[in-house]
Structure 1
Amino acid sequence: MLERLVAYLDSVKARDPAPRSRWEVLTYPGVWAVGYHRIAHWLFEAELFFLARLVNHWSRMFTAIDIHPGAKIGKNFFIDHGFSVIGETAEIGDNVTIYQCVTLGGTNPTNGKGGKRHPTISDDVIIGSGAQVIGPITVGRRARIGANAVVTDEVPEGATMIGLKARSTLVPAEEWVKEFIPYGTPCDDPCESTRELGRDCIEKLENELKQLRAEVTALRAEREPVRRSGTED
């Protein structure tokens, strides 16, 4: 058990440059929230629902993170900062990272039955600050959800989702990155190439504008003698 705890703390430290030691990681509210959830989920599985809720209630007061006891969470789940909410039927894979104020929320079932209402988050997913992932959808492996994105549809493996309602960017994460990206938002070479394309478009528009101005000036110069001759007559 101690080895598993050390491995978990090391996995958090690998994703966050702030802590200088494992002891610092132990002060993180997200680490405590996951620990309390392990207890609450064990009680929930044993159908001791009231006790599970008590543990969940204490955890929410202590960490400002609300994880329903019924949620299923894999290995090395890291919540960086607090104020996140994870619903009852949410399923989270291994090595998932979420930042503050994230909601893994449910939708109201049309048939009136509980059922699967919350998302399934696959392995190695990163969810940025303030993102809302809603409904019984699946977020594919290694996907990235950008800050404040609202996701209500299936997310392909390796996709990067941004916006309201979230859409996939033109940066295919599955082709150029296999490792952890802080905050779930890539900003290296692919973005740089996109910026270069933007600069090229701006330069092209500026050149066209200069050409149009030159043509307008030439037309004015041609009309000026005609105006003068008309005035002399």
Structure 2
Amino acid sequence: MFKQLKEDINAVFARDPAARNTLEVLTTYPGIHALIMHRMAHELWKKNCKGSARALSSFSRFVTGIEIHPGAKIGKRFFIDHGMGVVIGETAEIGDDVTLYHGVTLGGTTWNKGKRHPTLEDGVIVGAGAKILGPFTVHKNAKVGSNAVVTKEVPEGVTAVGNPARYIFKEKDKEKNAEEARRRDYAEQIGFQPYAASQDQTDPILEGIRVLLDRMQNNEQRMNTLCQRLSLLDPTFKKQQTEQQPYSEEELKIIEEVRRECESQTRQSKS
């Protein structure tokens, strides 16, 4: 038990630059206090002293502001930073080297008995105020952003953000990167700039924007080709159309702008 406590204290020094010495950590860190009392309560729980285990966990919540059910399984070097408002349910399982910040909830979504709380594998980091709800797994080295609401499995090494959570993947294949670069260049040409949106975000609205950009670019290419062919077939096409239909000055301005745009697009495609 003392060896485990030493590892937990070392985890604090590794992840909190404000920690100065062991005495300070032991006396002023509620995360350490809650963890020590939980390990004792968990042993009582396993020995079927459930009433005593619940009483100790309730006392721990009163003292630290951190509620950990004595049935929860917690691995080595677990660190709760600040800790106020953290809730960890009965069937939650936490691996080694996991970090939780204040306001995190590892909760359930059903009243049925059995596994109903999440499993956090090794190296997971959960930001302040995040809610992870349900009997699924957050895989190794994944990150959950502050105030995210996660209700489904999180793949390994992925960052989950937002409500409902969407995933940001670190690596993409070369073909996808090339596609994103092409869309970004085209968006800059037409003056479009999605505010506060990253190309790494998996989001339905951004996916729709990508489809629209592709469609617009294809339509512009087809219009450019049409303009070129019409000009080759009949250079006086615009003049004939103007004589046949008496356009207003406003309409003529629009036609002239379209013509200039076609010419500029033609020059760009040739270059």
TM-score normalised to structure 1 length? 0.73
1:146 paired to 2:145: yes
Deviations 1:13-65 (A, max 9, x none): 11111111222222210111010000111111111111001100100000000
CA separation in 1, counterparts of 2:164 and 2:192? 36
How far has the Cα of 1:169 moved from its partner? 1.2
Partner of 2:157: 158
8 Å Cα contact 2:5-2:36 kept in structure 1: no
8 Å Cα contact 1:129-1:148 kept in structure 2: yes
How far has the Cα of 1:68 moved from its partner? 0.2
With over 3 angstroms needed to count, the CA separation of the structure-2 counterparts of 1:137 and 1:205, relative to structure 1, is: same
8 Å Cα contact 1:158-1:172 kept in structure 2: no
Percent identical among aligned pairs is 52
8 Å Cα contact 1:159-1:172 kept in structure 2: no
Q: Secondary structure at the match of 2:132?
A: strand
Q: Is 2-11 or 98-107 further displaced after alignment?
A: 2-11
Partner of 2:82: 81
How far has the Cα of 1:205 moved from its partner? 3.9
TM-score normalised to structure 2 length? 0.64
Partner of 1:51: 52
8 Å Cα contact 2:77-2:96 kept in structure 1: yes
Partner of 1:17: 17
Larger RCO (alpha carbons 8 Å, 6+ apart) = 1
How far has the Cα of 1:170 moved from its partner? 3.8
Partner of 1:193: none
- For structure 2, list consecutive stretches of 5 or more residues without a partner in the other structure: 173-180, 194-249, 258-271
Letter in 1 for 2:161: I
CA separation in 2, counterparts of 1:16 and 1:115? 35
- For structure 1, list consecutive stretches of 5 or more residues without a partner in the other structure: 174-195, 209-215, 224-233
With over 3 angstroms needed to count, the CA separation of the structure-2 counterparts of 1:122 and 1:204, relative to structure 1, is: same
8 Å Cα contact 1:138-1:154 kept in structure 2: yes
Partner of 1:69: 70
Partner of 1:114: 113
Letter in 1 for 2:6: V
8 Å Cα contact 1:128-1:145 kept in structure 2: yes
CA separation in 2, counterparts of 1:198 and 1:25? 51
What pairs up with 1:1-233 in 2 under 5 angstroms? Answer: 1-26=1-26, 27-82=28-83, 83-109=85-111, 113-172=112-171, 203-206=188-191, 219=253
How far has the Cα of 1:172 moved from its partner? 4.4
Q: Is 17-26 or 119-128 further displaced after alignment?
A: 17-26
Deviations 1:90-110 (A, max 9, x none): 00000000100000001215x
With over 3 angstroms needed to count, the CA separation of the structure-2 counterparts of 1:207 and 1:28, relative to structure 1, is: closer
CA separation in 2, counterparts of 1:197 and 1:16? 42
Q: Secondary structure at the match of 1:133?
A: strand
How far has the Cα of 1:198 moved from its partner? 11
The structure where helix makes up a greater share of residues is 2
Which structure's CA Rg is the greater one? 2
- The CA RMSD measured in Å over matched residues stands at 2.8
How far has the Cα of 1:199 moved from its partner? 8.7
Aligned length: 190
How far has the Cα of 1:197 moved from its partner? 10
8 Å Cα contact 2:42-2:70 kept in structure 1: yes
Letter in 1 for 2:131: Q
Structure 1 segments (4+ residues) deviating >4 Å: 196-203
